[in-house]
Amino acid sequence: MSKIREYFALKNVLEVETPILSSAGNTDINIENFTSEKISHDCIKSYLRSSPEFPLKRLLCHGIGDIFEIGKVFRRGEISKTHNIEFTMLEWYRLGFDYIDLIQEVEYLFKSLFSAFDKQISATECITFNAVSSII
């Protein structure tokens, strides 16, 4: 986690912490929320977040700039060998980045993490949706 924080600090991306419990669940019908007692008098129940996406986007709308968060998220019904119902998620937003910039940033982040632990990362290849769909 500290290496991820170092990476984003070097890029001047601000770390934020957003609420884990809210009065609204997510809108993705494929993700089931955990619920809790209501946190305010005007809601029936409360929800543990399945992602920090919405509070991070609210911060973006208020002009905070480039941001990231490393935090706990919760998803019901997703327990398996590769999924836990509670896990830690990294989510970040960069202003002015297009999808190519974000692809490159993911690559740089992984290379940075691998090198921090004296590990090598094999060459990366970017495969676009068009390349995949033309094969099918």
The CATH number that domain 2-95 falls under is: 3.30.930.10
Task: Kindly report, residue by residue over 40-61, the tens digit of the pLDDT.
Answer: 677 677 878 888 998 999 999 9
CB 73 within 8 A of CB 91: no
pLDDT average, residue stretch 9-28: 86
Q: What is the pTM of this model?
A: 0.82
Residue range(s) of every CATH 3.30.930.10 domain in the chain: 2-95
Tokens of 47: 């929800």
**Whether pLDDT at 131 is above 60:** no
Of 68, 29, 24, 27, residue with least CA distance to 48 = 24
What pLDDT does 72 receive? 94
Helix residue spans in 1-136 (DSSP H): 2-10, 53-61, 99-116, 129-135
- The rounded distance, in Å, linking the Cα atoms of 35 and 68 is 25
Contacts of 55 (CB under 8 A, 6+ apart): 18, 19, 22, 49
Task: Kindly report, residue by residue over 88-124, the tens digit of the pLDDT.
Answer: 999 999 999 998 899 999 999 999 999 999 998 888 8
